[in-house]
């Protein structure tokens, strides 16, 4: 939609305005369209995207926000009134079946929306508008931590800036290791710190790495609650995010790192965050893939010891070294929710 695309430079700077169902009204074409021509173009797009089974009238496609229609397609608005809350996250039944239906129905239309878009840039604006419902409904942006082994401290800035660039609507934090840090940390020590950040509830995702990337991946997967993928290429990153839906990724930072290495890293990070995690792939088998992923996570959880058992079994010298990573420890103490981890850090 040309009128919509022409406003992108302005829309990128626009702060979000969330609807009850988690859409970002600030970049929604239905909310932004004003002229009859803009409304008709929007109605045509809604048909091409599969959101309507025919091109509806301008009056029907026009939206001025929650409550402008007698019905709510997800039935969340009457539900919030019934439960006397303003937002679903305030409800004692959150997250209920209605919310799960919102996520599933939204994800089912994403691929058709991509095909209807004129460019990847246009599609990414629609991702912001309609396909980040889970983060928006929960009311907390995804929290991503960058932390890699000291052996690749020179790559920390590149890794952090790449994640910040492509994880556009997330809070991205840099825990090092940087060249300025005097203390050096191995991939084993960093893997435990990454696990503490995740298990404590301080972060939602960790982007990490070491020289090969594989050692860090293996080490992270030994920490309870961590599901880490090895993502040396853009396609590996995309498939891990869509199929395996893990909470950590490890990238190789030391192998043949010419200018092509920098380009590959940026493309890998871009592909990792190109769509919301956990949608399943290929799309024709998405539901089966998502069920398999849930089953894998259950099996993995049942096969692991608790985080408190894991920590109590660590050698004392390793425990003491981990506690010296002050920025990580301070962040967990301030943002962590797991009482066992917080007690261990005292």
pLDDT tens readout for residues 44-70: 999 999 999 999 999 999 988 776 666
pLDDT at 166: 93
Q: What is the pLDDT confidence band of residue 71, given thresholds at 50, 70 and 90?
A: low
pLDDT at 67: 66
Is 66 contained in some domain?
yes
Tell me which of 165-174, 228-237, 313-322 is least confident.
Answer: 165-174
Please indicate, yes or no, whether residues 297 and 148 belong to a single structural domain of this protein. yes
Look at residues 231, 186, 238 and name the one whose alpha carbon lies nearest to residue 207.
231
Is 8 contained in some domain?
no
Is 280 contained in some domain?
yes
Is 7 contained in some domain?
no
Q: What is the pLDDT confidence band of residue 153, given thresholds at 50, 70 and 90?
A: very high
What CATH number is associated with residue 180? 3.40.1400.10
Q: CB of 229 within 8 A of CB of 251?
A: no
Q: Please list, residue by residue across 138-169, b when 16 or more beta carbons sit within 10 angstroms of its beta carbon and e when fewer do.
A: beebbbbbbbbbbbbbebbebbbebbbebbee
Strands in 228-230's sheet, in edge-to-edge order, are 171-174, 143-146, 205-210, 248-252, 228-230
Last residue of a domain, one of 116, 138, 160: 138
Number of CB atoms found within 10 A of residue 118's CB: 12
Is 2 contained in some domain?
no
Q: CB of 167 within 8 A of CB of 144?
A: yes
Please indicate, yes or no, whether residues 75 and 188 belong to a single structural domain of this protein. no
Task: Tell me the mean pLDDT in the region 98-113.
Answer: 88
Q: What is the pLDDT confidence band of residue 259, given thresholds at 50, 70 and 90?
A: low
The CA distances from residue 2 to 14, 41, 55, 208, 306, in Å, are 19, 9, 18, 39, 54
Please indicate, yes or no, whether residues 117 and 260 belong to a single structural domain of this protein. no
Please indicate, yes or no, whether residues 134 and 230 belong to a single structural domain of this protein. no
Task: Tell me the mean pLDDT in the region 72-86.
Answer: 81
- For residues 177 and 283, the model is more confident at 177
Q: What is the pLDDT of residues 167-200, one digit of tens each?
A: 877 889 999 999 999 999 999 999 999 999 999 8
Please indicate, yes or no, whether residues 65 and 153 belong to a single structural domain of this protein. no
Please indicate, yes or no, whether residues 166 and 91 belong to a single structural domain of this protein. no
pLDDT at 258: 56
> The domain containing residue 303 runs over which residues?
143-345
Count how many domains the chain has. 2
Spell out the residues 6+ positions from residue 84 whose beta carbon is closer than 8 angstroms to its own: none
β pairing state of 248-252 and 205-210: parallel
Q: How many Å apart are CA 1 and CA 116, to the nearest integer?
A: 10
Q: How many Å apart are CA 250 and CA 231, to the nearest integer?
A: 6
Residue 140 pLDDT > 80: no
pLDDT at 68: 62
What helix, strand, coil percent values describe the chain, rounded to 5?
A: 55, 5, 40
Task: Tell me the mean pLDDT in the region 232-254.
Answer: 94
Last residue of a domain, one of 109, 138, 167: 138
Look at residues 29, 80, 68 and name the one whose alpha carbon lies nearest to residue 51.
29
Taking each helix axis as running N to C, give the angle between helix 187-199 and helix 326-335, from 0 to 180 degrees, rounded to the nearest 10: 10
Please indicate, yes or no, whether residues 205 and 273 belong to a single structural domain of this protein. yes
Is 3 contained in some domain?
no
Please indicate, yes or no, whether residues 118 and 161 belong to a single structural domain of this protein. no
Task: Tell me the mean pLDDT in the region 145-154.
Answer: 96
Is 5 contained in some domain?
no
Q: What's the mean pLDDT when you consider all of the chain? A: 89
Q: What are phi and psi of 18, to 5 degrees?
A: -95, 140
Last residue of a domain, one of 138, 169, 186: 138
Task: Record the tokens describing residue 226, joined without a space.
Answer: 């961590």
Please indicate, yes or no, whether residues 129 and 213 belong to a single structural domain of this protein. no
Please indicate, yes or no, whether residues 67 and 185 belong to a single structural domain of this protein. no
Most confident range (mean pLDDT) of 82-86, 119-123, 276-280 is 119-123
Task: Record the tokens describing residue 237, joined without a space.
Answer: 């990153």
Please indicate, yes or no, whether residues 19 and 75 belong to a single structural domain of this protein. yes
Q: How many Å apart are CA 95 and CA 137, to the nearest integer?
A: 10
Tell me which of 29-38, 103-112, 177-186, 193-202 is least confident.
Answer: 103-112
Residue listed under structure tokens 């009238």: 57
Task: Specify the 3-state DSSP secondary structure of 251.
Answer: strand
0.85 surpassed by pTM = no
pLDDT at 88: 83
Task: Tell me the mean pLDDT in the region 14-36.
Answer: 88
Residues 119-125: contacts with CB under 8 Å, at least 24 apart: 119/5, 121/5, 121/8, 122/1, 122/4, 122/5, 122/8, 124/168, 125/4, 125/8, 125/11, 125/27
Taking each helix axis as running N to C, give the angle between helix 156-166 and helix 259-272, from 0 to 180 degrees, rounded to the nearest 10: 40
Q: What are phi and psi of 173, to 5 degrees?
A: -120, 140
Is 6 contained in some domain?
no
Task: Tell me the mean pLDDT in the region 266-283.
Answer: 88
- For residues 344 and 228, the model is more confident at 228
pLDDT at 69: 64
Task: Specify the 3-state DSSP secondary structure of 100.
Answer: helix
Residue 156 pLDDT > 90: yes
Task: Tell me the mean pLDDT in the region 324-344.
Answer: 90
Bridge-partner residues for 251, per DSSP? 209
């Amino acid at each position: 939609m040309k009128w919509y695309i022409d406003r992108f430079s302005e829309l990128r700077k626009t702060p979000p305005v969330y609807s009850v169902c988690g859409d970002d009204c600030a970049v929604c074409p239905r909310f932004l369209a004003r002229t009859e021509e803009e409304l008709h173009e929007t109605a045509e797009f809604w048909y091409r995207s599969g959101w309507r089974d025919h091109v509806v009238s301008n009056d029907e496609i026009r939206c001025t926000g929650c409550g402008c229609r007698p019905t709510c397609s997800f039935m969340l608005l009457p539900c919030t009134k019934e439960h006397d809350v303003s937002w679903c996250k305030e409800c004692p039944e959150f997250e209920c079946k209605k919310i799960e239906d919102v996520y599933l129905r939204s994800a089912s239309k994403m691929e058709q929306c991509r095909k209807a878009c004129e460019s990847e840039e246009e599609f990414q604006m629609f991702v912001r508008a309609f396909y980040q419902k889970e983060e928006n409904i929960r009311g907390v942006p995804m929290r991503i931590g960058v932390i890699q082994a000291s052996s690749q401290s020179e790559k920390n800035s590149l890794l952090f800036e790449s994640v910040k660039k492509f994880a556009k609507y997330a809070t991205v934090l840099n825990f090092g290791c940087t060249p300025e840090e005097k203390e050096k940390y191995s991939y084993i020590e960093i893997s435990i710190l990454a696990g503490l950040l995740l298990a404590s509830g301080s972060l939602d995702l960790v982007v990490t790495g070491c020289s090969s990337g594989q050692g860090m991946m293996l080490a992270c997967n030994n920490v309870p609650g961590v599901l880490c993928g090895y993502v040396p290429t853009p396609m590996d990153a995309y498939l891990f995010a869509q199929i395996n839906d893990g909470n950590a990724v490890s990238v190789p930072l030391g192998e043949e790192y010419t200018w092509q290495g920098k380009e590959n890293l940026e493309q890998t990070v871009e592909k990792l965050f190109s769509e919301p995690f956990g949608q399943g792939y290929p799309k024709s088998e998405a539901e089966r893939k998502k069920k398999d992923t849930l089953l894998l996570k259950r099996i993995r959880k049942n096969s692991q010891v608790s985080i408190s058992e894991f920590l109590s079994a660590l050698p004392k010298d390793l425990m003491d070294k981990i506690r010296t990573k002050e920025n990580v420890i301070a962040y967990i103490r301030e943002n962590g929710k797991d009482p066992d981890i917080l007690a261990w850090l005292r």
